[in-house]
Amino acid sequence: MKCFLLLLVTILASQALTMASNPGLKLKLLERGLDFGVDSNNKPTMWITSRSCQVDNVHMKFHGGRSRFYNIFSGYVEKKLSSQIRSTIINVMDDLINERLNKTLSNIKGTVLINNVITMDNQLLASPHLGHNYIQSSHKGEMFWTSQPGAVPFSPAPMEEPLGTSKMMTLCLSDYVGNSLGYAFYTYGTSYLRRTLTESDASISLM
């Protein structure tokens, strides 16, 4: 894989989210499928590809007055209420991920300014990969002189995949990150690397 920076985040795999309130209502949110992508500005995107919501044990019983008559229709009301709750949960989740979360992801900065001199380009190179219990993303990771942005005259070597996912977060950097930083200083930042030794720098007097 030709990337400069590889980020591997291990996440807790969860097959279902269950919310229960006995004896009246039990909600179960099952296996909502998620997919990741990259927009035209190299920002991450996320959207729901599949979902199902199950509402169990919705029970309604009327008391007093004409309750005997009302209870004839309680089964119909229970089905309508169950359907409405299921639809509401799905709509809320769709809005939360497909709209609000993506709006937040679109504000992620693609570059990082270091000491007002060096800029690190950490834009995504491809869509993040969602595994069984991890998310893996490949970033550019190129360093350049902030006032003189431009591509370096060499390319990164293929990068090996991480050996395991036992850690919560694994950050892999190729030598291209350091080489692009060195090239930036060599080309534009020689004044930062130059130092004139004086008597105060010596451990003993020059006299």
Q: Round to the nearest angstrom and report the end-to-end CA distance of the chain.
A: 58
Give tens-digit pLDDT for 46-70.
Answer: 888 777 777 777 777 777 777 777 7
Please tell me whether the overall predicted TM-score, pTM, comes out greater than 0.85 for this model. Answer: no
pLDDT at position 9 is 56
CA distance 153 to 183: 9
Alpha helices in the chain (DSSP H): 67-70, 74-94, 102-105, 175-188, 190-193
pLDDT at 33 over 90: no
CA 204 from centre of chain: 55
Assign residue 142 a region (left: φ > 0; alpha: ψ between -120 and 50; beta: otherwise): beta
Structure tokens at 44: 């991450």
pLDDT at position 5 is 57
**Furthest-apart CA pair in the chain: how many Å?**
111
